[in-house]
Chains A and B, each alone.
Chain A
Amino acid sequence: MKRKSILFVALLAVVTFFASTNISSAEEGTFPIGSKLDNVTMPDPMGKDYSLNDLKGKNGSLIVFLSVQCPVVKQYDDRINEIANAYKEKGINFIGVYSNRTEPVDAVREHIKNLYKFPVWIDKNNVFADKLGATRTPEVYYFNNNNILDYHGAIDNDRSGTNITKPFLKNAFNEKLAGKEITEKETRAFGCTIKRIKKEKM
């Protein structure tokens, strides 16, 4: 009897361990479609704080992870501006985020001069990138006016911009604005890896 109880306890411990491991790995770095983002406040490159609720439009916000050095972001710059301008009029406001540990605030300040016509956040220690599970630049997250994630991934399917056959982000915006269900809610954004700070293991 005693032997059986010991075996049962050991089995329970093993099952609990594996179950908790799976839960933590599944939750780490993911922000599924349909999740609500609580209001966040982060500084711009001049050090002034802005909250998501202050910046979002009447039809939500588009958060785009950017980089000073990434050539893929450079290829997308014109299209990012074009889409930002076009949809600002329709109530969707763009917010840029710089999370790379390798890009100091001065570099970001210099980089955005005369480049983007929308506000940008400095994500110190990539806390916000961790929260959303963002790993690349450019990578976009579209939150509706209730801060619910409606689209995540790539801007379109061709970084060169010469052969775009699937304008994912525009499609998502258009479907949402037309009151339809977004057909493709998640795509894979191709780009540069966000360089994160090294975290000490607990």
Chain B
Amino acid sequence: MKKVFKVFITLAILSVSLTTNLFAQKTNSTSSKASTVFITPKVTKVDEITIKEILKPKGKPLLVNFWATWCVPCREEFPELVEIDKEYKGKIDFITISLDDLAEINRDVPKFLKEMKATMPAYLLRTNDENAVISSISKDWQGGLPFTILYAENGDVAHTRQGIIKVDIVKNKLNSLLKAGTAKKNTTIKKPCDPKKDIKIKN
């Protein structure tokens, strides 16, 4: 009887461990699949007219990065941009605008964004007058890439950078914009004291 019991216990332990292993394998394969699957981002074409609309903040600070796949410093800074996007997701709007040739809108641009696992809305600027567009975007932009510009909620330019961004500076600017935005909201929500109402409440 003891022997039978021992065999039963051994079998039970074996089956439990097998089931656990199988389940673990299944879970691992599912999770690894989930982590590797990344949908190719859609890149939208913009021109000198439509870009004006996308550069308008919509209730949040707006961070914009101009880049191109052929621009080495742009590629170098991109992982940091993706990190900033992750950290500030929901708090700010962050878009990227590629200045690659139009032919790359379905090729190198989405391919690179996919490699970077970038989830920011992506655009490609095609204009007949780059000089005019660059001048209209910022007086600080001499025409080099990358170029990053941060707009406050009200559309004011809070920060610009031609060349690789300095992450600390961008984060400081973002934090102060967010802080200012929260403070403003709090003052707007807070109603002025109404003595009559206060008296009523007391009664």
Contact = CB atoms under 8 A, between A and B. Distances in A.
A190 B73 contact: no
Contact of A159 (B73, B130, B135, B141): B130
Interface size range on B against A: 20 to 34
Contact of B131 (A71, A188, A193, A195): A188
Given A192-B71, A193-B71, A195-B72, A187 B131 contact: yes
A195 B70 CA distance: 14
Majority SS of interface residues in chain B?
loop
A187 to B, nearest CB: 6
Interface string B16-39: 000000000000000000000000
Given A135-B142, A136-B143, A71 B128 contact: no
Majority SS of interface residues in chain A?
loop
Interface stretch (A6-14, A84-92, A160-168, A171-179): A160-168
A168 B132 CA distance: 12
Most A-side CB within 10 Å, residue of B131, B145, B163: B131
B73 A193 contact: yes
A85 to B, nearest CB: 24
A188 B135 CA distance: 7
B95 interface: no
A107 to B, nearest CB: 15
A158 interface: yes
Contact of A166 (B101, B129, B141): B129
A32 interface: no
A136 B147 CA distance: 13
B134 interface: yes
19 contacts: A71-B70, A135-B162, A136-B143, A136-B144, A157-B129, A163-B128, A166-B129, A168-B131, A188-B131, A188-B134, A188-B141, A188-B142, A190-B99, A190-B130, A190-B143, A191-B143, A192-B145, A193-B71, A195-B72
